[in-house]
């Protein structure tokens, strides 16, 4: 058994460039993200169906509602960060959402149809849109807190692959069980996976081993609360050009993502009438994304960032998005949309998202939790809300899907320039740390 364990460690070390004293933390981080995204992707397929069922024309209102809920949630999270140590904060956030999932399950069973069901579907859409950003933001805050900059470049790609593996299983569960069990009976399954993520967090209370000369940021066991005001994260963002640059990167990301999402809603709603079939299609898209992403994260991401830098990795997605919108401008059909969405999201998860998270390894703990959460939630959903109304406004002006896709191409080009500048600043901060 010891020999087998040693061989597995050696193979993992060759594939990921992980040190022996980091392996335990790496594997639990992998499992943590696996459980987190598996549970979320079960919910995601349901959310997409709820958005279509609530009416495509209502999507801008749903995005605006999500932003309003975010504005209320961020101060509450800031208060919790100020008061509780990491080892208590992270499990408490996840168990709060477990309770939410079970409450929605009960309500969907109690309200099977009618106008109440429509409003419940819209509330669920907004809730999942808040949920996914919060749980993933907390995950990456935790990772940036226990891993240092050099470790992040080497290991975040593999850790992200845990999420991708979960993103494969989640849609597979949804696609297999949505029709025979009924979509609502997927909710308790999602809650179980979220609780499994909590169990992984409990085994990551201490930071991974670090080489001499590089200390993981944060306290050894996450025993101390960060302190500070509940709105300190937002205030610190507006005082930091570096954090404002990350905000700008996120705004370009959300704008282009929302434009793709709205086009997806229009194209898919025109192609299918049956809710279960739409759920299956959305789950299948998620499955394709996971397959395209997994091997890239496992073998390529860490080496790509080490070789070309964080800026180039962050700029990879804008280049893909520019090409995808160009293709959609010429041919706004389901096949092109699925190909674009699959490649875009795989590029984000495999290359650009891990690079974006490495950007936070060079800032202080308060920025890692409070400022990062503000950026990942309020800025992100604010961008969603504004770009959602922008899409509606462009449609009102008479621009069709091809024209809106064409308008998005120069936005993606500017976004790529922002990514390269952020990469240069991150390297400078890492060198001076």
Nearest of 346, 285, 357, 291 to residue 321 by alpha carbon: 346
CB atoms within 10 A of CB 127: 21
pLDDT of residue 211: 39
pLDDT digits (tens, 9 = 90+) for 385-415: 788 788 878 888 878 778 888 888 999 999 9
CATH code given to domain 20-207+230-432 = 1.20.1250.20
Q: For residues 142 and 5, is the Cβ–Cβ distance under 8 A? A: no
Lowest mean per-residue pLDDT among 167-181, 199-213, 309-323: 199-213
Nearest of 218, 199, 196, 198 to residue 207 by alpha carbon: 218
* Mean pLDDT calculated for residue range 279-304: 74
**Token pair recorded at residue 15:** 């594939």
Lowest mean per-residue pLDDT among 165-169, 255-259, 293-297, 391-395: 293-297
| Residue 219 backbone zone (phi > 0: left; psi -120 to 50: alpha; other: beta) | beta
Domain positions in the chain are 20-207+230-432
Q: For residues 286 and 45, is the Cβ–Cβ distance under 8 A? A: yes
pTM: 0.76
Give dist(CA 20, CA 209) in Å, integer.
8
Nearest of 131, 158, 152, 208 to residue 357 by alpha carbon: 152
């Amino acid at each position: 058994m010891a020999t087998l364990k040693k061989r597995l460690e050696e193979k993992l070390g060759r594939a990921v460039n992980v040190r022996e004293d980091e392996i335990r933390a790496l594997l639990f981080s992998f499992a943590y993200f696996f459980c987190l995204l598996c549970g979320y992707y079960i919910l995601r397929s349901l959310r997409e169906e709820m958005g279509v069922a609530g009416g495509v024309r209502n999507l801008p209102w749903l995005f605006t509602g999500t932003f309003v809920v975010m504005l209320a949630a961020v101060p509450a999270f800031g208060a919790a960060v100020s008061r509780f140590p990491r080892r208590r904060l992270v499990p408490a956030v996840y168990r709060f959402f477990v309770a939410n999932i079970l409450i929605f399950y009960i309500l969907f069973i109690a309200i099977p149809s009618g106008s109440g069901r429509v409003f419940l579907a819209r509330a669920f859409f907004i809730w999942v849109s808040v949920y996914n950003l919060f749980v993933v933001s907390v995950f990456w805050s935790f990772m940036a807190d226990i891993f240092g900059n050099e470790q992040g470049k080497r290991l975040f790609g593999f850790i992200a692959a845990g999420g991708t593996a979960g993103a494969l299983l989640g849609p597979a569960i949804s696609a297999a069980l949505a029709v025979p069990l009924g979509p609502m009976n997927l909710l308790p399954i999602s809650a179980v996976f979220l609780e499994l993520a909590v169990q992984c967090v409990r085994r990551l209370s201490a930071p991974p081993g670090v080489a001499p000369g590089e200390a993981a940021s944060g306290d050894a066991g996450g025993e101390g609360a960060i302190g500070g005001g509940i709105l300190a994260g937002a205030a610190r963002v507006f005082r930091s050009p570096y954090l404002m640059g990350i905000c700008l990167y996120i705004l370009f990301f959300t704008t282009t993502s929302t434009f793709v999402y709205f086009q997806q809603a229009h194209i898919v709603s025109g192609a299918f009438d049956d809710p279960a079939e739409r759920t299956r299609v959305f789950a299948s898209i998620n499955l394709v994304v996971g397959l395209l992403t997994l091997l890239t994260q496992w073998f390529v991401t860490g080496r790509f960032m080490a070789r070309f830098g964080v800026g180039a990795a962050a700029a990879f997605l804008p280049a893909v998005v520019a090409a995808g919108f160009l293709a959609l401008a010429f041919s706004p059909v389901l096949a092109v949309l699925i190909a674009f969405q699959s490649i875009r999201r795989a590029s984000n998860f495999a290359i650009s998202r891990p690079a974006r998270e490495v950007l936070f390894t060079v800032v202080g703990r308060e920025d890692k939790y409070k400022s990062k959460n503000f950026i990942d939630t309020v800025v992100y959903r604010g961008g969603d809300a504004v770009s959602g109304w922008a899409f509606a406004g462009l449609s009102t002006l008479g621009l069709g899907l091809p024209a809106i896709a064409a308008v998005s191409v120069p936005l993606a080009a500017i976004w790529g320039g922002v990514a390269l500048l952020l990469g240069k600043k991150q390297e400078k901060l890492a060198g001076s740390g």
